[in-house]
Structure formats: structure tokens, C-alpha cells
Amino acid sequence: MSNELAIHGQGETMVSHDAHHEHDLHHHKQSFITKYVFSQDHKTICKQFLITGIIWAMIGGLMSVIFRLQLGYPDSTFPWLEDILGKWAKGGKLTPEAYYALVTMHGTILVFFVLTGGLSGTFANFLIPLQIGARDMASPFLNMLSYWFFWLGSVVLLSSLFIETGPASGGWTIYPPLSALGDANLGSQAGMDFWIVGMALFVISSLLGGLNYITTILNMRTKGMSMTRLPLTIWALLFTAILGVLSFPVLLSGLILLMFDRHFGTSFFLSDIFITATQTALPNEGGSPILFQHLFWFLGHPEVYIIILPAMGLVSEVMAINARKPIFGYMAMVGSLFAITILAFLVWAHHMFVTGLNPFLGSVFVLLTLLIAVPSAIKVFNWLTTLWRGNLRFTPGMLFAIGFVSIFISGGLTGIFIGNSTLDIHLHDTYFMIAHFHLVMGVAAFFGMFCGVYHWFPKMFGRYMNNTMAYIHFWVTLAGAYLIFWPMHYEGLAGMPRRYMDYSGWSSFNKFAGLNQFITDVALIVFAVQLMFVFNFFYSIFKGRKVTTKNPWGANTLEWTTPIRPGHGNWVGEIPEVYRWAYDYGKDGKDFIPQTEPLGADEQHH
């Protein structure tokens, strides 16, 4: 299918280049419903993903604030908690069930609904057609369905917060037997079913989106846009989509089996269980809870790369633009993305070193896990060498890109510790682990996302975000991320386990009471600053400074050749042809040379 056929009746939207006549772009008959709700325009779907992700991030972030209050101030009561949580916080003190539900939902929401749906949903939808030179996705209709399945999954998961027995509370990894037996745990009753259904809908959404991203990138590049001229964002999003398409179905299989264990008397993951609460021995035999862990982590590990690869792509692009230098080692960047994609499928059992895995098998997974340090280090060195002697422009997007590299290094190095099965015996399920993954995939991915939002906001909404608020947002978040997670390394090395709601009963850990309080205080400040970002985002959509030139950052890629507020179809008239790669910055004395500029007589092919 050609690009021209991808959207219906294109041409009628192509009216004006001129910023002052931007409203003309939408003059053809489109109702509110088809334009903003059931839109098939990839740019609108991007905004739907982004705004849904922001709402989810606020909910998930608020949850962490609430359980952080418990951890920082275990002896205090907060009467306002009872106002919002009711019986889950009787007298202003969280119940253990509520604490577990909060950490479980915090993990689920942030990992899947914010940093997967919100991050790659937003930027794959926005950047793929714009940067490869396509009118829209290969199938705009499936793309729309992808969002609405995401929305439906979101509604199901959100409603689980309001049912009587509460949402799932067995940890975001939902290990059986806890997640399979309603008698074992309040949250393993209806809440767990909502979790499974919500996640199944999410998997469908991710599949529909992923298929679209892959086929669009492979099939619909404009003339001259060979694979090696693609911006690194697109390479990253391609590998992300491949990871998602191949790993989410395995989670789906696990969820199907879990559903049968929960409701149809099967024993896939259950064997020899006695429930103390009801004083009953269960008839299940022959199943294996370890099997579920294998199925879960076969998705779960690629999932962390599904989260971090788009962030890496966004950072690479924004960094080259704002260093006014070509990205260092383009092919090495692509190669390392590829290596990470392959290795992502071969390391899942390093999450299971202490579950009784055969130590010999563990040693194989140690080797494969540590191999990931190689492509990761290649990427880090390439970012640093891109910055080296660049003419750095410290835009908010650039600051977050640099911050990403800092956080990724800090969080990545501790990965080498816990990737060793012997060290992992001590560090597993401690705050060291919490610190590691929050830095390397939580905060780092958020930095990538912020970098992308600040950088492409002018393209999305035709306005800039407020810079002052952006700088405050950056510095407080960077300092806050380190102040929150750095101390957790010490707590974890001292053996402080995760998933406990109160440590004051252990003399080994109550020396950290002051530190925990400090972490909570910083978390409160950081959360407030994120709310400021959200305010900045929505305020700037309506009141931000207007963009007056097509290419405000002086970037080479195709999205900046579209009108300031592109209509459905992106380009007025012909789609531009591409003659060079995306990184001709500071070449031959020119500040930048867009991809659409033909090669000069003295230039060689890229």
C-alpha cells in the first residue's frame, strides 16, 4: 500500500503552509468525535496515549507518595488518608492490605501503563510517520483500536481500585500461589481478576500497536529513506515493537493458565498447599509456581528494554540536535540496540537466582546478563563522545537527555552487582534492588520521556512549554532522584528487605528510620515538582509561547518540514524525498543540513 492511500481523502487537508492560517487545515468536515475521540490520525492518537499516560503517572505517583509516608513516618497517623482511602486507612494509618495493594498497583501502573503504553505509545505514534515520511501508520484503524484497547484495559484496572476487596496486592509480578488463591489474600480475590483482564486488554493493545509500528517502518519509508538513514528514534522504536510483539504473548499464555488455576480447579502453578487462614489442604498437585516465574520473566525482562529503548532513541536524537554534532557511532548505536534486543530474550532467569534455579543454569544466565553491559556501555560512550566538544544548547529536552545518561550510568552499574548470582543471594529483594531498577529503568525512562515531551511539544501543539518551570523541574527531579534512590543502596547492602511496611521492629533496620524519613521528604518534593510539570504541560497547550518557525530547534529530520500545525496527512502536497542521514550537524561549516537537502557536488553518499 502506498503512502498516499494510507489516509482517506488526503489532499482535502492540504491547504496551507502558513502558521497564521493554521485553522484552515481542519476546515473539512470532521465531527468532534472523529477528530478528537475516535481519531485515526496518528498525531491525535499520540496525544491520547500521552495524556492517558500522564493521568496514570499521577495516580501511580500518588500511590508511591502514600506508601512512602508510611515508610518514612511509620508511627504517625494522617487523618486525611482515611478521607480518601476509607477503610483501607482506618484512623489515618494504612492497613497492611492497603500497603501491599498500593505497591502492587504502583508497579503495575508505572511499568505497563505509563512507561510502556504512555512512552512508546506516545512517541511511536508521533515520530514514526513524521520521521520516516509517511502520511500515517500502515493501518490507522488498527492504530486507533490500539489506543482504545489501552483505554479499556486502563478502565478495568482503574475500577479494580474501587471494589470491596481491593485491587491486586500480591506484587506487580503476581507470583502464584499467592495470586492464584483468593483465600490467601484479599487482593487475590476479584482484584486479581481485574488485573488479569486489564493486562490481557493491554497485551492486545500492545500487539496491535506493535504490528503497526513494525510494518510502517519497514514498508512506508519515503523515497531515499533507507534503513541506515533512519533517525535513531525510529530504530529504537522498531526494536521496541519487535520485543513487545514477541514477549507479551508469553505473558498472555501465563495469564490464561493462571486464570484457569484461579477459577477452574486446575493445578498448573499449584502443588501441595495448605492454607492457614482457612485450615484447609488444597487438592492441587503436580503444578509448578516456578513455571509461572519463567513465563512472567520471559516477558518481564524484555519489558524493561521495551521501557528503556524508546528513551534511548529519544535521547540520542535530542542529544545530537542540541550538541550540534552528528551522533557518535551511528552504526554502533544501531548495532547495540540490536544486541540488546537479542540479549533481552536470553537473560530472564536472572530474576530467579534465588527461587531454586539450578546453579549451573544460573551461571549461564549470569554470563548472558553481564554481556548486556557491552552494548549498554557502547551506547553510553557514544553519548558522551557526542557531547564531547559539542556546541551544547541547554534546552530542557537536552538537560533531560544528559540527565538520562547520568542516571542510566548510576543505575546500570549496580546491575553488574545483582547480575551476579552469588551477590544476588544477598541483594535479592532488598532496597538495593529497588534502587537499581528505579534508577535504571524508572527514572531513566522518565528522563527520556521528559526529554521527548519538551523537545517535541512544539511539534505536537504548536507552542513551547514554559522554560523556567522546565528548568526547575529538571534540577529538582535530578537531585531528587539521586537523593531518594542513592541512600537505598546502603539500606539494601545492610540487608533491608523490600515489601515491608514497617521496619521499626528490627534492630538491624531501625537505624535507618531517619534516612527513610529523609527519602520520604524528598519524594514529596519531587512529586510536587512533577505536578508542576503536568501544570506546565496543560497550561502550555493553551497558553504557551507560539511557535513561529517550522524548524525551531534547527533539526534535520522530516517532522520539522511539515507545517507548524500539520493536518491529517502531515505534508501539504508531496512527501519530501530524503537524500542524506539525519545527523549532518556542523558539517562543512554549515550548522545543519536537513535530510531533504540533495547532496552537494563535493559530498559522498551516506
Cell of 195: 488485573
User: Rounded to an integer, what is the distance from CA 266 to the centroid of its chain?
Assistant: 34
Rg for the chain, CA atoms, rounded: 24
Q: Which stretch binds other proteins (CB under 8 A): 39-47, 106-114, 215-223, 487-495?
A: 215-223
Residue 214 sits in the site that holds other proteins (CB under 8 A) = yes
**Cα dihedral 27/28/33/36 (nearest 10):** -50
> Which positions ≥6 away from 263 have C-beta within 8 Å?
none
Q: Which stretch binds other proteins (CB under 8 A): 91-99, 283-291, 404-412, 429-437?
A: 283-291
Our CB check for other proteins shows the closer of 284 and 477 to be 284
Per-residue x/- mask for other proteins, residues 226 to 245, rule CB under 8 A?
xxxx---------------x
Among 74, 118, 287, 567, binds other proteins (CB under 8 A): 287
**CA neighbor of 169 nearest in space, from 194, 186, 190, 193:** 186
Among 64, 216, 322, 376, binds other proteins (CB under 8 A): 216
Rounded Cα distance between 498 and 501, Å, is 9
Per-residue x/- mask for other proteins, residues 448 to 477, rule CB under 8 A?
------------------------------
Residue 594 sits in the site that holds other proteins (CB under 8 A) = no
From the number of C-beta atoms within 10 Å of its C-beta (0-12, 13-18, 19+), residue 413 rates as middle
Rounded Cα distance between 251 and 566, Å, is 38
∠ CA 409-59-98, rounded to 5°: 100
Residue 266 sits in the site that holds other proteins (CB under 8 A) = yes
Least separation in angstroms between CB 273 and other proteins: 14
The half-sphere exposure of 562 on its side-chain side, counting CA atoms within 13 A, is: 30
Residue 82, amino acid = E
Q: Which of residues 25-44 bind other proteins (CB under 8 A)?
A: none
Least separation in angstroms between CB 381 and other proteins: 18
Residue 256 sits in the site that holds other proteins (CB under 8 A) = yes
**CA neighbor of 67 nearest in space, from 110, 12, 24, 123:** 110
> Omega of the bond prior to 177 within 30 degrees of 0, cis?
yes
Our CB check for other proteins shows the closer of 193 and 424 to be 193
Least separation in angstroms between CB 15 and other proteins: 25
Our CB check for other proteins shows the closer of 16 and 271 to be 271
Our CB check for other proteins shows the closer of 47 and 580 to be 580
From the number of C-beta atoms within 10 Å of its C-beta (0-12, 13-18, 19+), residue 324 rates as middle
Least separation in angstroms between CB 383 and other proteins: 18
Least separation in angstroms between CB 546 and other proteins: 33
Q: Which helix (H) or strand (E) holds 483?
A: helix 467-493
268 secondary structure, DSSP code: S
Report how many helices (DSSP H) and strands (DSSP E) the chain contains, helices first: 18, 4
Per-residue x/- mask for other proteins, residues 117 to 156, rule CB under 8 A?
---------------xx----xx--x--------------
Among 267, 341, 369, 410, binds other proteins (CB under 8 A): 267
Rounded Cα distance between 220 and 575, Å, is 11
Q: Which of residues 323-352 bind other proteins (CB under 8 A)?
A: 330-331
CA distances from 15 to 23, 136, 562, 567, 587 (A): 10, 18, 12, 9, 34
**CA neighbor of 526 nearest in space, from 65, 107, 115:** 65
Handedness of CA 321, 606, 4, 126 (dihedral sign): negative
Residue 578 sits in the site that holds other proteins (CB under 8 A) = yes
Q: Which stretch binds other proteins (CB under 8 A): 279-287, 371-379, 404-412, 506-514?
A: 279-287
Our CB check for other proteins shows the closer of 67 and 330 to be 330
Our CB check for other proteins shows the closer of 241 and 481 to be 241
Least separation in angstroms between CB 66 and other proteins: 36
Rounded Cα distance between 414 and 23, Å, is 51
Among 157, 220, 315, 440, binds other proteins (CB under 8 A): 220
Decide: helix, strand or coil at residue 314: helix
Residue 257 sits in the site that holds other proteins (CB under 8 A) = yes
Our CB check for other proteins shows the closer of 232 and 405 to be 232
Residue 246 sits in the site that holds other proteins (CB under 8 A) = yes
Among 199, 225, 333, 387, binds other proteins (CB under 8 A): 225
Residue 264 sits in the site that holds other proteins (CB under 8 A) = yes
Our CB check for other proteins shows the closer of 250 and 465 to be 250
Mind giving me the DSSP string for 143-192? HHHHHHHHHHHHHHHHHGGGSTT-S--STTTT-TTTTT-GGG-GGGTHHH
Residue 215 sits in the site that holds other proteins (CB under 8 A) = yes
Among 172, 195, 239, 248, binds other proteins (CB under 8 A): 248
Our CB check for other proteins shows the closer of 167 and 287 to be 287
Q: Which stretch binds other proteins (CB under 8 A): 83-91, 92-100, 257-265, 538-546?
A: 257-265
Binding site for other proteins (CB under 8 A): 1, 132-133, 138-139, 142, 207, 210-212, 214-216, 218-229, 245-250, 252-254, 256-257, 260, 264-268, 285-288, 291, 294-295, 298, 330-331, 577-578, 581, 604-606
